[in-house]
Structure 1
Amino acid sequence: MFTSTRFTPTAASIPPQGVRLSRKALRGVPVNYTPLNPLSFILRGALIYPNKVALVHPNVPSPVAYTFSVWAQRTQNLAYALIKAGIQPGDRVAVIAPNNPLIADALQGVLAARAVCCPINTRLKPHEVQYILEHSGAKLILVDHEYKHLVGNVKTRVIVSNDTGREGDPYEDFLTEGRLFSQEKGWPGLETEPDENAAAMLCYTSGTTGRPKGVITTLRGSYLAAIANAFEGQYVPSNTPSSRILPMFHAAGWTYPWSCTFAFATQITLRTVDYTQIWDHLLHSGVTHYCGAPTVQIGIVNDPSARKLDKPIVAVIAGAAPTPHLISELEKTGIKPVHVYGLTETYGPFTRCYDQENWASLSLDERARLMARQGHAFATAEEVRVVNYKEGSDIPQDVPADGKTLGEIVTRGNIVMKEYLNDPEATKKSFRGGNFNSGDLAVMHPDGSISVMDRSKDIIISGGENASSLAIEQELASHPHVLEVSVIARPHVKWGERPMAFVILHPQHTKIWKGRHHEFAVDLKAHAKSRLPGFACPEWVEVVPELPKTSTGKILKTELRKIVAKL
């Protein structure tokens, strides 16, 4: 396991003797009430396990490792530095960084300053980042040195991190300024946010169908979502190293950065999704948990370093539905998949597919098919429903629990966003019928679990029949030579639309089909016909070297549609 003896933090990062790990007490609130705030988790960690490594950043030229007590001090320093820089409660602070201590600090320290953290996707274009900076009204920008070009010539103050953790790094100097400004008042010198429904995060949607929307989530929701993720992800307090593969800029890392501090876990931050590094940590760093989208999981199980693990590791999967084939491959490797589902508007996951006792007697393929469902609502979430609306009505009607009738997933309650920033019309539309309307189409099974069938815009209507692109993808992915596949609608003279499949071949089988992609298409279609109704079988198959994806591994079907539009 990691130790902090190889690295000496800056002098400003070392807490004083007798440090108090509690914020300024609120006056005038009932004895039986404390406003919920995920910041409390890191303070609790520093109190109970002060010398345990909380954050380690190993695969860089200047590795660092911070204990809970040191990280809590750095969080405090950042809060004071932001206040010294003029940040007021409710102001937005943008952070542009890969998984590293800068963004890990920001998810804690910005809240400590009672400001709103706005993490921005590092894979966006400069003009897209400019739009978010302007729309968010960010008053200060924290940026990793590799992404300075995304900021441009803004008038807003920019603090650059060289990702060294050493004296002389501009970001470290900023933290030192905060420590000096604090005059050693410590945590009791920082005002406590009295409103647990105050904004905590401003996370922007992917914007694949237009301008990205700014999703405002709250302190209360973040606290409850983090606890739920720790529970549903089966984190064991005090002995849980977690590898940070999922970008923390995506929906605040699904709130897992706070889930980890809640569980006293050691977080391993990796700047990039490097499968060799990932496998090195899975095999040698005592990792017990990690999160990642299905495309990342595919890369993990198919990497040359992949092997059967000596002890099981939990992989939380979300961002898209994993295929039964992928779930099966993970299990064979010794990786236990925990399949969850959610959106940026629900703090990341809010449902989980729960294992059932009777699954033990099923074959691996049968069990994997059941595990591919999106399941039931989280412990701290309200019931997940599948509904339809009658024309002209805003009253949702639940679909029959028959596993067949298609409807839209809706939910409400503790872990639903507060609103879209400066967009009351979009907020009103999203909250139609007194629920959050996801836009995802699903069925409800007799046991109350749900299965996502598609995004509403991705349903393929062929000859009057509705074909789920997701269902087609799951069946095509069961072909032993398919590594990844994405299916979209393509216009058809007779049937209106027919499915078109874009396929990445498994590296082990690319040579077999070299120069024979047409024959592979025939083979895949035959495979599909044995598993799908005729209207759902792909009319066209295109073998491609890669698929366009978002930073979190979601396949950009909008880009595939552009390709089809030119055919």
Structure 2
Amino acid sequence: MPATVVAKGASTSEESTQARPGRTWCRHHYKTSSSYSPRFAFHAMNTNPHFVPTPASIPPSDVVYRLGYDPQLGPANHHPLNPVAFLLRAAQIYPDKLAIAHPNVPRPVHYSYATWAQRIQNLAYALIRAGIKPGDRVAVIAPNSPMIAEAHHGILAARAIITPVNTRLKPLEVAYILEHSGASLLLIDHEYTQLVEGTKVPMIVSHDTGGVDDPYEEFLSLGRQFSSEKGWEGLDAERDEDAGAVLCYTSGTTGRPKGVLTTYRGSYLGAVANAYEARITKDSTYLWVLPMFHAAGWTFPWANVFAFATQITLRTVNYSHIWQHLLHSNVTHYCGAPTVQIGIVNEPGAKQPPQPVTAIIAGAAPTPHVIGELEKIGINPVHVYGLTCTYGPFTRNYDQPFWKSLSLQDRSKLIARQGHAFATADEVRVVHQPQEGKDPNVLVDVPRDGKTIGEIVTRGNIVMKEYFRDPEATRVAFQGGYFRSGDLAVMYPDGTVAIMDRSKDIIISGGENASSLAIEQELATHPHVLEVSVVARQHHKWGERPMAFVTLHPQHQSRWAGKHPEFATDLKRHARERLPGFACPEWVKVVPELPKTSTGKILKTDLRKIAAKL
């Protein structure tokens, strides 16, 4: 059995359950006399209007929204940037506003900003009680739900590093991430415990109920007890804004996931930029379609709180549920890859929502068809670009006045560009790739002709701190004092960039990054495979899918003679046992030999040309 931190029942002090002015609190009923009423959410989100937060979730009447900080340790004209401040500000200004709702589950929950802030405070104390120290890594394996949303704030409030793990990975990949990150504790949703069978990392299991008997809720209750009602001031503020805050793992060309370490400062400024660029305000409702484990939800867990917005979490990408909320829950914003947009516009119940909706699109450039279909039903597409190493998006294609006079086809070509850098980012550049005999630290911009291909580089506030425990990869990534994206692009006269290819051979399928080398390594374990090379091939739904070109071992060629389709089926089965679904090859082509250079390197450029013609 996996190691587990067991939270026994906990009582809450009388003081902690006192009502704040203007509210009546008790164990069986909750009501508010403020001017804000979340009743619209109860009906539209199918949320139980009689839901009662656990007693430990109820803040005291004299709550102070201020982290502990010694003013002697810094000048009066400076404070370290920390996204936890967004939560404290929101709870202070809009305590009764609906912060987060979790409908479409057997036991729906909803929390006001005051209640949610108390829960996050409890989580921070619970982590400290469990032995978590500043800089420790706390892993989270969960779908979009209150727990992972709370973790993005509570783990940072404990001055630890959140390590969100992709729920679509295989157990071996999850085990590697837990080991490489050195995770001290794991918060895990009950549906994903099979991913960590045999782990020695202590874990807290959430049954996603919000009820007092849920192990996660018991963990929070113990945190409240442990706090002795010291409140937020009993939690030390992180004094170093450049300290690690988030550790996300992303597939790379080495075949092993790389740990991308980002900071409090970058998370703060990335969140501010995303709220501004997406035009999220206190009147916005954000629907969680993008997984929060993906590059920490592109900083939107903090961006929405910065803007005082309401968040709705969905455990799965269910298009019926998405449209339920687009039509009836006043949803104004969501993020998603082009493949998600395709599913949304093709849902039978799709029609124009009663309010304006903005779709933030990344992962691949949206096609003119998708852009047109979104616009037809009143959804405004905003195309952004970024990587895990840049906190998610750091560029946006800003619409221009003259676009209105263009045809959809011409306008879509412009929308599909990656655009200009965000307000809190430094400029995005396209530079010539390093050449043999040239100093790789000297960066030379390509001409702004829309034709000359170079590599996208950037630096500044929303670039990662480092690759965790990999100084050599960090050094290479920052050659020339800029982050080298590995994405090949052109620069247009107006300063916009447009990606043309990916030098790292990353395949982006449904918004997920798949390493071609990692796929090749697994396919090569099939006993009948001699050589294999994998490239991206366009897919009508997923944007891209892997295509494998294979040569067979001579001793097995006769077995599959005239039966290449059967071999393809067998290799795909082999892949599904070893790779996440988005990394499994969609197509397999058996070839007599692979094209190679004189030095024996496989020419993937030739394979891409073949795939493009199929």
- The bucket for the TM-score relative to the shorter chain is 0.7 to 0.9
- Following TM superposition, by how much is the alpha carbon of 1:82 offset from its aligned partner in structure 2, in angstroms? 0.4
Q: 2:326 aligned with 1:291, yes or no?
A: no
Inter-partner Cα distance in structure 2 for 1:23 and 1:70: 17
Aligned-partner SS, 2:41: coil
* Cross-structure match for 2:305: 261
Q: 2:47 aligned with 1:8, yes or no?
A: no
Q: 2:475 aligned with 1:428, yes or no?
A: yes
- CA, structure 1 residues 484+126, in 2 after alignment: closer, same or farther (shift >3 Å)? closer
Aligned-residue sequence identity (percent) comes to 62
- Following TM superposition, by how much is the alpha carbon of 1:566 offset from its aligned partner in structure 2, in angstroms? 6.5
Q: 2:277 aligned with 1:232, yes or no?
A: yes
Residue 564 of structure 1: which of 589, 596, 599 is its match? 589
**Structure 1 unmatched ranges of 5 or more:** 461-468, 493-547
- Residue identity matched to 2:200: K
* Cross-structure match for 1:451: 498
* Cross-structure match for 1:536: none
- Residue identity matched to 2:106: P
Q: 2:354 aligned with 1:310, yes or no?
A: yes
1:379-528 aligned at under 5 Å gives the runs 379-388=423-432, 389-392=434-437, 393-394=439-440, 395-458=442-505, 483=541, 486=544
Most deviating of 44-53 and 324-333: 324-333
- Following TM superposition, by how much is the alpha carbon of 1:309 offset from its aligned partner in structure 2, in angstroms? 2.7
Q: Is the 8 A contact 2:253 2:505 kept in 1?
A: no
- Following TM superposition, by how much is the alpha carbon of 1:433 offset from its aligned partner in structure 2, in angstroms? 1.3
* Cross-structure match for 1:361: 405
Aligned-partner SS, 2:163: strand
Q: 2:368 aligned with 1:324, yes or no?
A: yes
Q: Is the 8 A contact 2:384 2:394 kept in 1?
A: yes
For residues 334-362 of structure 1, give each alpha carbon's deviation from its aligned partner in whole angstroms, at most 9, with x where no partner exists: 11011000000000000000000111111
Aligned-partner SS, 2:585: helix
Inter-partner Cα distance in structure 1 for 2:586 and 2:320: 29
- Following TM superposition, by how much is the alpha carbon of 1:140 offset from its aligned partner in structure 2, in angstroms? 0.5
Residue 54 of structure 1: which of 89, 94, 99 is its match? 99
Residue 382 of structure 2: which of 338, 349, 362 is its match? 338
Inter-partner Cα distance in structure 1 for 2:547 and 2:132: 48
Most deviating of 19-28 and 134-143: 19-28
Q: Is the 8 A contact 1:196 1:218 kept in 2?
A: yes
Q: Is the 8 A contact 1:12 1:175 kept in 2?
A: yes
* TM-score relative to the length of structure 2: 0.77
For residues 269-302 of structure 1, give each alpha carbon's deviation from its aligned partner in whole angstroms, at most 9, with x where no partner exists: 0000000000000000000000001111111011
Aligned-partner SS, 2:100: strand
Inter-partner Cα distance in structure 1 for 2:240 and 2:301: 22
- Following TM superposition, by how much is the alpha carbon of 1:374 offset from its aligned partner in structure 2, in angstroms? 0.5
Inter-partner Cα distance in structure 1 for 2:150 and 2:485: 31
- CA, structure 1 residues 373+17, in 2 after alignment: closer, same or farther (shift >3 Å)? same
Q: Is the 8 A contact 1:320 1:554 kept in 2?
A: no
For residues 6-48 of structure 1, give each alpha carbon's deviation from its aligned partner in whole angstroms, at most 9, with x where no partner exists: 3110000000101001111233200110100000001111000
Inter-partner Cα distance in structure 1 for 2:295 and 2:92: 28
Q: 2:184 aligned with 1:159, yes or no?
A: no
- Following TM superposition, by how much is the alpha carbon of 1:132 offset from its aligned partner in structure 2, in angstroms? 0.4
CA RMSD of aligned residues (A): 2.4
- Following TM superposition, by how much is the alpha carbon of 1:364 offset from its aligned partner in structure 2, in angstroms? 1.7
- Following TM superposition, by how much is the alpha carbon of 1:564 offset from its aligned partner in structure 2, in angstroms? 3.4
Aligned-partner SS, 1:559: coil
Inter-partner Cα distance in structure 2 for 1:367 and 1:40: 40
* Cross-structure match for 1:187: 232
Inter-partner Cα distance in structure 1 for 2:581 and 2:381: 18
* Cross-structure match for 2:125: 80
Aligned residue pairs total 492
* Cross-structure match for 1:109: 154
* Cross-structure match for 1:36: 81
Q: Is the 8 A contact 1:96 1:144 kept in 2?
A: yes
Inter-partner Cα distance in structure 1 for 2:168 and 2:435: 40
- CA, structure 1 residues 366+211, in 2 after alignment: closer, same or farther (shift >3 Å)? same
For residues 221-266 of structure 1, give each alpha carbon's deviation from its aligned partner in whole angstroms, at most 9, with x where no partner exists: 0000000000111112x11110001000111000001000001011
- Following TM superposition, by how much is the alpha carbon of 1:390 offset from its aligned partner in structure 2, in angstroms? 3.4
Q: Is the 8 A contact 1:458 1:488 kept in 2?
A: no
- Residue identity matched to 2:316: T
* Cross-structure match for 1:96: 141
Aligned-partner SS, 1:66: strand
Aligned-partner SS, 1:315: strand
Residue 223 of structure 2: which of 161, 164, 178 is its match? 178
- Residue identity matched to 1:368: S
Inter-partner Cα distance in structure 1 for 2:398 and 2:280: 15
Q: Is the 8 A contact 1:377 1:384 kept in 2?
A: yes
Aligned-partner SS, 2:444: strand
Inter-partner Cα distance in structure 1 for 2:476 and 2:373: 40
Inter-partner Cα distance in structure 2 for 1:442 and 1:243: 32
* Cross-structure match for 1:45: 90
For residues 156-183 of structure 1, give each alpha carbon's deviation from its aligned partner in whole angstroms, at most 9, with x where no partner exists: 2110000000011000000000000000
- Following TM superposition, by how much is the alpha carbon of 1:488 offset from its aligned partner in structure 2, in angstroms? 7.3
- CA, structure 1 residues 488+114, in 2 after alignment: closer, same or farther (shift >3 Å)? closer
- Residue identity matched to 1:428: R
Q: Is the 8 A contact 1:90 1:199 kept in 2?
A: yes
Aligned-partner SS, 1:179: helix
Q: Is the 8 A contact 1:295 1:554 kept in 2?
A: no
- Residue identity matched to 2:373: E
For residues 430-457 of structure 1, give each alpha carbon's deviation from its aligned partner in whole angstroms, at most 9, with x where no partner exists: 1111110111111101100000111125
* TM-score relative to the length of structure 1: 0.83
Aligned-partner SS, 1:257: helix
Inter-partner Cα distance in structure 2 for 1:152 and 1:484: 31
- Following TM superposition, by how much is the alpha carbon of 1:397 offset from its aligned partner in structure 2, in angstroms? 1.1
- Following TM superposition, by how much is the alpha carbon of 1:555 offset from its aligned partner in structure 2, in angstroms? 6.0
**Structure 2 unmatched ranges of 5 or more:** 1-39, 43-47, 508-534, 551-574, 593-614
- CA, structure 1 residues 555+22, in 2 after alignment: closer, same or farther (shift >3 Å)? same
Q: Is the 8 A contact 1:293 1:554 kept in 2?
A: no
Aligned-partner SS, 2:87: helix
Q: Is the 8 A contact 1:486 1:555 kept in 2?
A: no
Aligned-partner SS, 1:443: strand
Q: 2:271 aligned with 1:246, yes or no?
A: no
Q: Is the 8 A contact 2:486 2:503 kept in 1?
A: yes
- Residue identity matched to 1:290: Y
Aligned-partner SS, 1:127: helix
For residues 377-402 of structure 1, give each alpha carbon's deviation from its aligned partner in whole angstroms, at most 9, with x where no partner exists: 00000000111133232111111100
* Cross-structure match for 1:514: none
Inter-partner Cα distance in structure 2 for 1:253 and 1:130: 22
- Following TM superposition, by how much is the alpha carbon of 1:213 offset from its aligned partner in structure 2, in angstroms? 0.3
Inter-partner Cα distance in structure 2 for 1:564 and 1:223: 47
